Chains A and B, each alone.
Chain A
Amino acid sequence: MEGNLEESKDPTVPVTVLTGFLGSGKTTILARLLRDPRFTRTAVIINEFGEIGLDHELLEQSREELVLLSNGCVCCTVRGDLLSTLKHIDGRRAGFNVDRVVIETTGLADTAPILHSLMADLPTVARFRLEHVVTVVDGFNGLETLNEHAVARRQVAMADRLVCTKLDLIGGKAANALRERLSALNHFAPQHAADHGAIDPDLMFRVRESSKDGTSGDPWLEGLEEAAHAGAHDHDHDVEGHKHHDADIESYSIVREEPISMAKFESWLRMITAMRGADLLRVKGIVNVLDHPDRPVVIHGVQHIFHPPRVLDKWPGTDRRTRLVFITRNIARDDIDATLQVF
């Protein structure tokens, strides 16, 4: 297949955010991926820490569509730069022949501001869609890094997919310990291994044909479904998925059997976001709405920013329950559940 991984009728350009702590191997993976013929139409945006960019030097090919943001660690101030870069890419999309964007963050970056930009800026939302957040974890130093750096824990918590590197340098026991730690931080993101930077691009970027609506094929929601079926128990007519936690960060799911009033759900979301937005690391879900139960609503939020809700034409599968996935910091599942019940 020539070009990128799949042809999509969706007019928006998929964006993958590639993150991971310093030295985790993001650039090595990206350099390998860009050699794959399926990535020839990929624009790469690199954000680097400090005035002099280095990571781009490690990418073997010089690509016209490779853009370097070198004005420091990604934070609110960089957002404008990122948006203008995306606008630039969009404006020259035909010339660049771009059908995918990869944003590689600095190792010290909090992923949230980038995701906020992609979710909240309406002109950007109209042209680009956040498809995946891929976090690279150094197998050799990963556990120590996770212990010592909150930003590394947040990078893992916010991921849709996790890629472990340098696993050949550690034994099976250490690798298992790392996997368990990653699962505790983010139960919903599948874990993959990269062999000296090489990984099947499909594992990182592919979205199945059936998932163009952004629901089925989403590893988080699939994980939620499995958890609900495997370990669920009835809880006041609702189903409770598994809960996983790592000190302050927890990942859990909430399932509602009954349709929900969208207006009330949005009220709850606003309230919870106003109270604890900074600690809602990621929220994803599909909602069975009382007013139009045949057309579910997909929600996706990062901290206090939520992508405009998307109404689907139909349910992606047979499961028509409201399914919500949360990765939070110091917010207990019971408190989310008890307050949501009101609405």
Chain B
Amino acid sequence: MHTVVETSSAVALELLDIWQRVSSRHVSLGTSCACGSGGVTLQLQDFEQDIVDFVLGQAERNHRSDVIAYLKDNAFDVQSGLGSVELLLANLGTADDQTVAESDIPTFVLEKLGKTLRSFARLHG
């Protein structure tokens, strides 16, 4: 079990690194084109709430009340109430709560989140 906890923690930190690298990077829509669609700038961070909602939705779809409870406690900024990928991954990375760490909650969350973040990172290039 100790190895699983360490592995989940390592994956969480790896994903946190990906998120920090990719999320604030700006991408521009057609700035070098004469078609007139330029000037729109986006960053993945703009969709952070959507990403957290997606993981929450996956937990709901799979009737994982334990994951839902964990996400509500660990994936939302207390003050703003907004979803935070960074907070979620940091919490999973530190694995403070031994009961959670030894459950399959981190595996569930990291699998869903990992696929998404790695895909975004690949698309970003």
- Which A residues are closer than 8 A to B by beta carbons? 76, 79, 116, 120, 264, 267, 270-277, 304-305, 331-332, 334-335, 338-339, 341-343
Contact = CB atoms under 8 A, between A and B. Distances in A.
Nearest to B122: A335
A274 B116 CA distance: 17
A304 B30 CA distance: 7
Interface in B92-125: 115-116, 118-120, 122-125
B69 interface: no
A77 to B, nearest CB: 8
Nearest to A271: B42
Given A271-B47, A277-B30, A120 B122 contact: no
A338 B120 CA distance: 8
B119 A338 contact: yes
Given A120-B36, A271-B46, 13 more contacts: A267-B46, A267-B47, A271-B27, A274-B40, A274-B41, A276-B125, A277-B30, A305-B37, A331-B123, A335-B123, A339-B123, A342-B50, A342-B51
A274 B120 CA distance: 12
B28 interface: yes
B29 interface: yes
B37 A270 contact: no
A267 B29 CA distance: 12
7 closest A-B pairs (Cβ-Cβ)?
A: A338-B119, A335-B119, A274-B27, A342-B54, A274-B29, A304-B30, A76-B34
Nearest to A113: B35
Q: Binding site of A, secondary structure by majority: helix, strand, loop or mixed?
A: helix
Interface of B: 27-30, 33-37, 40-42, 44, 46-47, 50-51, 54, 115-116, 118-120, 122-125
A342 B123 CA distance: 14
Contacts of A120: 35-37
Contacts of A335: 119-120, 122-123
Contacts of B29: 270, 273-274, 277, 304
B123 A275 contact: yes
Contacts of B28: 274
Contacts of B41: 274
A272 B67 CA distance: 29
A343 B27 contact: no
Contacts of A264: 50
Contacts of B30: 277, 304-305
Interface centre among A267, A335, A339 (most CB of B within 10 A): A339
A340 to B, nearest CB: 9
A116 B38 CA distance: 13
B111 to A, nearest CB: 11
Contacts of A275: 27, 123-125
A304 B37 contact: yes
A342 B33 CA distance: 29
Contact of A343 (B36, B50, B115): B50
Nearest to A119: B35
Nearest to A339: B119
12 contacts: A120-B37, A271-B27, A271-B46, A274-B28, A275-B27, A305-B35, A332-B122, A338-B115, A339-B123, A341-B54, A342-B47, A342-B51
A259 B33 CA distance: 33
A206 to B, nearest CB: 30
Contacts of A271: 27, 42, 44, 46-47
A156 B36 CA distance: 27
B109 to A, nearest CB: 14
A236 to B, nearest CB: 9
B38 to A, nearest CB: 9
A188 to B, nearest CB: 22
B119 A334 contact: yes
Nearest to A341: B54
